[in-house]
Amino acid sequence: MENNRTRITIDDFSELYKKYGPMVLRRCRYILKNEDAALDAMQDVFVRVIERHSLLNSVCSSFFYTVATTVCLNKLRSRANSSCSGHDTLLNEIADNTTAFHEDITDTTLLLEAIFRDTRKNTQKIAVMHYIDGYTLEETAAEMNMSVSGIRKRLMVLRKKAQLFT
Protein backbone atom coordinates (compact mmCIF):
# COMPACT_ATOMS: atom_id res chain seq x y z
CA MET A 1 0.00 0.00 0.00
CA GLU A 2 1.67 3.17 -1.16
CA ASN A 3 -0.50 6.09 0.05
CA ASN A 4 0.47 8.68 -2.58
CA ARG A 5 4.16 7.89 -2.31
CA THR A 6 6.36 8.20 -5.34
CA ARG A 7 8.72 5.39 -6.10
CA ILE A 8 12.39 6.18 -5.62
CA THR A 9 14.44 5.67 -8.75
CA ILE A 10 18.05 4.63 -9.02
CA ASP A 11 18.82 8.15 -10.27
CA ASP A 12 17.18 9.66 -7.18
CA PHE A 13 19.20 7.39 -4.93
CA SER A 14 22.44 8.10 -6.80
CA GLU A 15 21.85 11.82 -6.51
CA LEU A 16 21.21 11.58 -2.76
CA TYR A 17 24.22 9.33 -2.28
CA LYS A 18 26.56 11.66 -4.18
CA LYS A 19 25.24 14.73 -2.41
CA TYR A 20 25.02 13.46 1.17
CA GLY A 21 27.20 10.33 1.26
CA PRO A 22 30.48 12.05 2.17
CA MET A 23 28.86 14.02 5.00
CA VAL A 24 27.11 10.90 6.37
CA LEU A 25 30.34 8.89 6.25
CA ARG A 26 32.27 11.66 8.05
CA ARG A 27 29.64 11.73 10.79
CA CYS A 28 29.66 7.93 11.13
CA ARG A 29 33.46 7.82 11.27
CA TYR A 30 33.51 10.53 13.92
CA ILE A 31 31.02 8.77 16.19
CA LEU A 32 32.05 5.13 15.66
CA LYS A 33 35.83 5.58 15.31
CA ASN A 34 35.95 2.48 13.09
CA GLU A 35 36.00 2.49 9.29
CA ASP A 36 34.09 -0.77 8.76
CA ALA A 37 31.43 0.17 11.30
CA ALA A 38 31.14 3.62 9.73
CA LEU A 39 30.60 2.15 6.26
CA ASP A 40 27.93 -0.21 7.62
CA ALA A 41 26.23 2.64 9.44
CA MET A 42 26.28 4.78 6.29
CA GLN A 43 24.47 2.02 4.41
CA ASP A 44 21.91 1.81 7.22
CA VAL A 45 21.32 5.56 6.99
CA PHE A 46 20.51 5.36 3.29
CA VAL A 47 18.28 2.31 3.84
CA ARG A 48 16.29 4.30 6.41
CA VAL A 49 15.96 7.21 4.01
CA ILE A 50 14.74 4.93 1.23
CA GLU A 51 12.22 3.38 3.63
CA ARG A 52 10.86 6.86 4.24
CA HIS A 53 11.01 7.89 0.59
CA SER A 54 7.83 9.92 0.95
CA LEU A 55 10.15 12.48 2.53
CA LEU A 56 12.42 12.74 -0.50
CA ASN A 57 11.09 16.14 -1.51
CA SER A 58 12.00 17.58 1.88
CA VAL A 59 15.32 15.88 2.69
CA CYS A 60 18.22 18.12 3.51
CA SER A 61 21.64 17.70 5.03
CA SER A 62 20.33 18.17 8.58
CA PHE A 63 17.93 15.25 8.02
CA PHE A 64 20.82 12.98 6.94
CA TYR A 65 22.96 14.29 9.80
CA THR A 66 20.24 13.45 12.33
CA VAL A 67 19.60 9.99 10.88
CA ALA A 68 23.35 9.26 10.80
CA THR A 69 23.74 10.32 14.42
CA THR A 70 20.79 8.17 15.49
CA VAL A 71 22.01 5.11 13.59
CA CYS A 72 25.52 5.43 15.02
CA LEU A 73 24.36 5.94 18.58
CA ASN A 74 22.13 2.88 18.26
CA LYS A 75 25.12 0.87 17.01
CA LEU A 76 27.21 2.05 19.97
CA ARG A 77 24.43 1.05 22.38
CA SER A 78 24.17 -2.37 20.76
CA ARG A 79 27.92 -2.80 20.90
CA ALA A 80 27.99 -1.82 24.58
CA ASN A 81 25.17 -4.22 25.43
CA SER A 82 26.76 -7.14 23.59
CA SER A 83 30.28 -6.72 24.99
CA CYS A 84 30.04 -6.34 28.73
CA SER A 85 33.70 -7.17 29.39
CA GLY A 86 34.97 -4.24 27.32
CA HIS A 87 32.31 -2.08 28.87
CA ASP A 88 33.41 -3.16 32.38
CA THR A 89 37.01 -2.32 31.59
CA LEU A 90 36.03 1.17 30.47
CA LEU A 91 33.90 1.66 33.59
CA ASN A 92 36.81 0.58 35.80
CA GLU A 93 39.15 3.02 34.08
CA ILE A 94 36.69 5.85 34.54
CA ALA A 95 36.11 4.90 38.18
CA ASP A 96 39.86 4.95 38.84
CA ASN A 97 40.16 8.45 37.40
CA THR A 98 36.83 9.90 38.52
CA THR A 99 38.16 13.00 40.25
CA ALA A 100 40.50 14.00 37.43
CA PHE A 101 37.83 13.16 34.88
CA HIS A 102 35.24 15.41 36.51
CA GLU A 103 37.75 18.23 36.98
CA ASP A 104 38.67 18.08 33.28
CA ILE A 105 35.01 18.12 32.26
CA THR A 106 34.28 21.04 34.57
CA ASP A 107 37.28 23.03 33.32
CA THR A 108 36.35 22.37 29.70
CA THR A 109 32.72 23.28 30.27
CA LEU A 110 33.65 26.57 31.96
CA LEU A 111 36.08 27.41 29.17
CA LEU A 112 33.49 26.73 26.46
CA GLU A 113 30.84 28.74 28.30
CA ALA A 114 33.23 31.68 28.50
CA ILE A 115 34.17 31.43 24.82
CA PHE A 116 30.55 31.21 23.62
CA ARG A 117 29.22 33.87 25.97
CA ASP A 118 27.83 36.86 24.06
CA THR A 119 27.91 35.10 20.68
CA ARG A 120 25.04 34.53 18.29
CA LYS A 121 23.01 31.37 18.82
CA ASN A 122 24.17 29.54 15.71
CA THR A 123 27.87 30.33 16.23
CA GLN A 124 28.26 27.27 18.43
CA LYS A 125 26.70 25.09 15.72
CA ILE A 126 29.13 26.60 13.20
CA ALA A 127 32.09 25.77 15.46
CA VAL A 128 30.93 22.18 16.00
CA MET A 129 30.35 21.60 12.29
CA HIS A 130 33.74 23.00 11.30
CA TYR A 131 36.06 21.96 14.14
CA ILE A 132 34.47 18.73 15.36
CA ASP A 133 32.58 17.28 12.41
CA GLY A 134 35.22 18.33 9.89
CA TYR A 135 33.03 20.36 7.55
CA THR A 136 34.91 22.67 5.20
CA LEU A 137 34.16 26.39 5.31
CA GLU A 138 32.11 25.99 2.15
CA GLU A 139 30.09 23.06 3.53
CA THR A 140 29.48 24.92 6.78
CA ALA A 141 28.37 28.02 4.89
CA ALA A 142 25.98 26.01 2.74
CA GLU A 143 24.50 24.23 5.76
CA MET A 144 24.06 27.46 7.71
CA ASN A 145 22.80 29.46 4.71
CA MET A 146 25.61 31.97 5.13
CA SER A 147 28.55 33.20 3.10
CA VAL A 148 31.99 31.65 3.50
CA SER A 149 33.33 35.02 4.65
CA GLY A 150 30.60 35.17 7.33
CA ILE A 151 31.59 31.72 8.59
CA ARG A 152 35.28 32.65 8.51
CA LYS A 153 34.60 35.84 10.48
CA ARG A 154 32.60 34.04 13.19
CA LEU A 155 35.32 31.41 13.59
CA MET A 156 38.01 34.08 13.76
CA VAL A 157 36.13 35.84 16.58
CA LEU A 158 35.87 32.53 18.46
CA ARG A 159 39.59 31.84 18.01
CA LYS A 160 40.46 35.29 19.38
CA LYS A 161 38.19 34.72 22.38
CA ALA A 162 39.74 31.31 22.98
CA GLN A 163 43.24 32.81 22.93
CA LEU A 164 42.23 35.16 25.73
CA PHE A 165 41.40 32.21 27.97
CA THR A 166 44.38 29.97 27.19
**Radius of gyration, alpha carbons of the chain:** 20
| Residue 84 CA to its chain's centroid (Å) | 26
Residue-wise pLDDT for 24-34, tens only, equals 999 899 888 88
User: Do 32 and 41 touch, CB atoms closer than 8 A?
Assistant: yes
Crossing angle of the two packed helices 35-51 and 10-32, in degrees rounded to 10:
140
- What confidence tier does 11 reach under pLDDT thresholds 50, 70, 90? confident
Which residue has better confidence, 160 or 3? Answer: 160
Residue-wise pLDDT for 135-153, tens only, equals 899 999 999 999 999 999 9
Which residue has better confidence, 124 or 12? Answer: 124
Q: Which residues fall within 8 angstroms of residue 95, CB to CB, at 6 or more apart?
A: none
Residue-wise pLDDT for 87-124, tens only, equals 455 445 544 444 444 444 445 566 667 777 777 878 88
Residue-wise pLDDT for 27-70, tens only, equals 899 888 889 999 999 999 888 877 765 555 556 777 788 788 88
The per-residue b/e assignment along 17-31, b for 16 or more CB within 10 angstroms, e otherwise, is eeebeebbbbbbbeb
Model pLDDT, residue 95: 47
